[in-house]
Amino acid sequence: MTLSNAQARDMQVLLHPFSNLKALDESGPLIIERGQGVFVYDAAGKDYLEAMSGLWSTALGWGENELADVAAEQMRKLSYGHLLAGKSHEPGLALAEKLKELSPFPVGKVFFGCSGSEANDTQVKFAWYAANARGMPQKKKIISRQKAYHGVTVAAASLTGLPGNHKSFDLPLDFARHAECPHFYRGAEAGESELQYSARLAASLEALIQREGPDTVAAMIVEPVMGAGGAMVPPDGYFDAITKVLDKHAIPLIDDEVITGFGRTGEWFGCGKYGFEPDSMSLAKALSSAYLPISAVLLSPEMTEIIDQESRKIGTLAHGLTYGGHPVTAAVALRTLEIYQERDVVGHVRHVEPVFLKRLASVADHPLVGEAKGVGLIAGIELVADKASKRNFEPAKGVGFKLSAFAELEGLIVRPLPSDRIALCPPLIISEAEIGELFDRLERALARTLAWAKSEKLL
């Protein structure tokens, strides 16, 4: 394959994250030139329906000029300002006020960063800080879950429960513990209902806490819907079951809403969809519709007070980021949240969800598909070699990546994930007609993948 000039230049200078670098040498990257609505376009003008909102993030789609105008206006007024050493600015404090207004749980104060990884690293540091403030230096373990994704910085990657994020990085660090992944399709026993499965997972969590020692566990972190680990929705009764275990041991719950926040599930936040109240929350991605990088940690009044008192004792709160609460980014994020409210974006998700889930259900009938399940406008599809036995393809065959490549040829961008799972996470503004186009292109890609799998004698 002959690479274009741009592709050749790219291969000389850019190290592409989460990419098979050997395969990339042969194919070259897909270079996107512009975007509008739910579509992006390459240099040749070919359109791609962006069924992943970029990286689960561009909730308002591309070409939202109002956000560009807000950014330009703020750049001209105050192009940079920080929140360190007692400094502040109007966009940062107004955004914090808006987040407290929208939060589904009581919030004391807000801490800003630039990415979900930074937010979850901050969660770890604050959990340790609070444990020391309480005179409990042994209380440092944080429970995550197998196949969870919480980021790639050292602490966040330790919480992530994916082996590929650990290999050759000397991770995870020893503070992280991983409970079972709540994936009913793969984890349930024969004849077990979702409620029974959830009860068993809660009992397993209880056993893990007892083995580690309840007085050593600082917190548990969860995604309401698991994202990069497979786009898996929780089984019925799961959060009700595990929060009872956490409450029994007074273990705080950190809610990682980096993917699910701001309407993705049909509620403002995933915790609202699944009926649990966290002690703190991590936000990013759709916070600014990914127009500029920003993240936020929302802290309970109790945690805020503990951090405040410990910092007074030490003399400073020695944690912060140069670009945390950047005024331009904060202004864009604030306007993004206002647009969600003014246009009732969450209501729109609820309106189109039945159309999305109906087409998703039809995909489940395809010979290659073992599971196709979602909520709101997020879904996971698992490809299998045998539907009856749920037998996976050999990982080396890369069937999920092959489907992603065929989808790209059909003008559709999806996300291949571990275990031959495919994620869908389109912009929240997607119309019913565009949902139809998304699944039409996906079905054509599935047909191509089936023909290829047969030709390779994988079935």
> In the predicted model, what is the mean pLDDT of residues 157-174?
96
In the chain, the amino acid numbered 40 is V
In terms of Cα–Cα distance, which of 89, 403, 190, 168 is closest to 97? 89
Domain 31-63+344-455 sits in CATH at 3.90.1150.10
Is residue 26 predicted with pLDDT exceeding 90? no
Is residue 63 predicted with pLDDT exceeding 90? yes
Upstream peptide bond of 172 is cis (omega within 30 degrees of 0): yes
Strands (E), 336-419: 369-375, 378-383, 412-413, 415-417
Is residue 385 predicted with pLDDT exceeding 90? yes
Is residue 451 predicted with pLDDT exceeding 90? yes
CATH 3.40.640.10 location in the chain:
67-342
**DSSP H or E segment with residue 22:** helix 21-27
Is residue 400 predicted with pLDDT exceeding 90? yes
Q: Is the dihedral of CA 214, 217, 218, 220 positive or negative?
A: negative
What CATH class is the domain 67-342? alpha beta
CATH 3.90.1150.10 location in the chain:
31-63+344-455
In terms of Cα–Cα distance, which of 105, 99, 64, 70 is closest to 283? 99
Q: Count each helix (H run) and each strand (E run) in the chain, helices first.
A: 16, 15
**DSSP H or E segment with residue 131:** helix 116-133
Is residue 119 predicted with pLDDT exceeding 80? yes
Is residue 5 predicted with pLDDT exceeding 90? no
Structure pTM?
A: 0.95
- Residue 98 near residue 271 (C-beta atoms within 8 A): no
